A and B are shown apart, each in its own frame.
Chain A
Amino acid sequence: MKFVDEFREPEVITMTAEEIRRLADPNRHYRIMEVCGGHTHAIYRFGLKDLLPSNIELIHGPGCPVCVLPMGRIDDGLSIAQDPNVIFAAFGDMMRVPGTLGSPLEHKARGMDVRIVYSPTDALKLAEKNPDKHVMFFAIGFETTAPSTALTLMRAKALGVHNFSVFCNHVTIIPAIRAILDSPDMRLDGFIGPGHVSTVIGCRPYEWIAKNENKPVAVSGFEPLDILQGIVMVLRQLRDDEAKIENQYKRVVPWEGNSAALRAMAEVFELRPYFEWRGLGFISQSALRIKDSYAEWDSEQRFEVPGVRVTDPKAAQCGEVLKGVLKPHQCKLFAKECTPEHPIGALMVSSEGSCAAYFNYEHRKTAMLTSIASVA
């Protein structure tokens, strides 16, 4: 399959893994953060950790939009959809994310009209097809999905579709990276930079990470070879005592980003003064709200929103895992109270969350290898 198989070619992957072993100084420990949930998922799905020397530690970053969404936002969205005239539309990613009274799927089983859509424009079509209902699109995602929400709102306005609104939870990646770098217990050597987000924002917004924080960044794709090449780039910079932004994902990411997408976002969204991130707390100017000129299509302005705040259970150490201070299995609740079927913390919810990825693909493997080792 084009654009997939060539990035999974065993020979090239083996060669790249060898290069990583050559570049890694055995007397040094490397901590590299992969920012995207998509990277985390790929690292586990393709078993890439098996290919890396033990002194390269991959730290899973905050780039999983489902994981960083506070539970109160889900409760707010679902409370609007309690109205039988409202259809709750969202990406498949959201469907199993629990609110206080259950996930959207569980609400659907109890009778709520919940629809999975592949794109926000599908939600708009749904509104056009159901003129007697109100369709609320529960929007999540970083800059990757925000432009399509923006374009959908522009189209809704142009077409005059009034039974459609967006419950906007879009967040931006840079403040999250900054929050992580500002955290005192954080020691990172470099970043595998976000792939999909960068197709929109380009590579320039990361320049401060190299300049001010002196950390290398390699914006990378999501195939096994992409991620390994990203690691090679970071290791080379560290070897040469350099810090710059490199673009491994050139086949998709333009250096300057996608100006049409950025224009659409600027037309529809503005920054919220602050927004709560699950695990990270309140971060200023880290999320998007719908501008007043689109107020009619803003669910938060159209409907009564309870504004629920739900704090995560104290025992869940999501914040520490999200910042890379703890590994998923080092959390007290991991695989005990907190599993993908009954997630307590956010990172166990999405398959891109580091806890869920670790649980699904790695947990029992590690347990098994430890048991073999202890027998030997």
Chain B
Amino acid sequence: MRSVLQLRTPQNGNADQHSVGGMKFAVNSAVAVNSAANDSSNSSPKVRFREPQIEMAHGAGGKASRRLVEGLFAPLLFASSLEPLGDAAFVDFNGVKIAITTDSFVVKPLSFPGGSIGELAVNGTVNDLAVSGARAEAMVVTYVLEAGLPTPVLEAEVRAMGNAARKAGVKITGGDTKVVEHGKADSMYITTTGIGRPLLGLKIDPRSVRPGDKILLSGPIGDHGITILLARGELDLEADLHSDTRSVFPLVEALVNAAGPGVRWMRDPTRGGVATSLNELARDCGCGIVLAEEAIPVRDAVRGACELLGLDPLHIANEGQFLAVVSPEYADAALNALNLAPGGEDAKVIGEVREQPCGAVLVTTLYGGSRIIDMLVGDPLPRIC
């Protein structure tokens, strides 16, 4: 309506050089500036998000999250919403390119087998930078603490962050603390913002993905999500499982060293799992993703829990794995490099890019059946009856 009445003059290429970036919805700001100039005849940004209120599903990393980001954040915050959304943004300071990303951590319980919120907060941001092709260099941290939080709990998490940062080789250089009234937050929330140095010789863009490219997965999926589900203690199930939280940078580095020119896309399949990440890729590249179910590594305990609860391992969150799309001529070298790197022994080629089914992910079975697997809608919920 505004544009029809011409009540507002279009904004001209005056976009902020240090534009906003963040987990799952970062855009390349250098490109964004150019596109904004091209779009300058357009009117005010178009908000397409029409849902009356925020529901839990909007934070679950699936379709609802995507609608919120694409329909509300992208049009209002980014100079252009034409760019595919990535895990980190790249900002150009007079020829020096840096990667920037931010991520908030809200986990219940705070600690669980194999990790805790502090460790996740460091690794999550390191990994968002890593799969964007950057080495995490520095990080700032914000704590939102609930009054009444026992100091030993906080100390344990701060310690865990320090250890994880040292392990990942990233410096924590500053931070902020806020305390909210008891009952206004769930113990503690942590936000980390990291900057990273781009790895050389790497050009990651989902639109460069072509039919024939191979899809690599760094290791078994679903460990983190199922560990958390069981650690909540609501299901009366136990298993020998621990979260896979770790920095994936060493694996990414090994991959890039061995197959850099062939690496077209990477993503860490956190909330929403492998299925959601690959559906995003399928949409962004306009190709089909075909997975061979038998090739996807899943531990027995995770499979068992998923069978019992009616969940699909492809929808379960991971905190220490990543997916990569590699051109066919580099695929062997890429897999080899991953398998030789510590922690990459279980990496596999799990499928390939094809022309069809356009924009979707198809899972095939050894006996000839197949199914489309979509993004997750909301959180995975156990099915009982």
Contacts and interface: CB of A to CB of B under 8 A. Distances in A.
Contacts of B368: 14, 17, 47, 50-51
A247 B235 CA distance: 31
A361 B384 contact: no
B150 interface: no
Interface string B343-385: 0000000000000111010101111111111100110011111
Contacts of A4: 303, 307
B289 to A, nearest CB: 12
B92 interface: no
Nearest to A108: B56
A118 B235 CA distance: 6
A45 B372 CA distance: 8
A193 B238 CA distance: 33
A116 B369 contact: no
Contacts of B362: 365
A142 B57 CA distance: 29
B377 A362 contact: no
A17 B362 CA distance: 21
B300 A1 contact: yes
B24 interface: no
Contact of B384 (A13, A93, A105, A360): A93
Given A1-B303, A105-B55, A122-B234, A48 B381 contact: no
B385 A365 contact: no
B113 interface: no
Contact of A1 (B307, B377, B382): B307
A220 interface: no
Given A47-B365, A109-B55, A368 B356 contact: yes
B367 A106 contact: no
Contacts of A352: 383
A176 interface: no
Nearest to B236: A118
Contacts of B378: 96, 105
Interface residues of B, number: 42
B7 interface: no
Interface in A105-140: 105-106, 108-110, 115-119, 122, 140
A47 B382 contact: no
A105 B374 CA distance: 21
A196 B28 CA distance: 52
Interface in A69-116: 91-93, 95-96, 105-106, 108-110, 115-116
Contact of B382 (A50, A116, A141, A362): A116
Given A93-B383, A340-B377, A365 B357 contact: yes
B371 A46 contact: yes
Given A44-B371, A51-B367, A364-B372, A145 B385 contact: yes
B236 A140 contact: no
B310 interface: yes
Interface string B276-312: 0000000000001000000000001001100101101
B4 interface: no
Given A122-B236, A360-B374, A46 B381 contact: no
B372 A360 contact: yes
Contact of B367 (A14, A65, A363): A14
B246 interface: no
A187 B140 CA distance: 67
Q: Which 9 A-B pairs have the closest CB atoms?
A: A47-B369, A92-B381, A141-B385, A10-B366, A13-B367, A92-B382, A91-B384, A368-B357, A361-B371
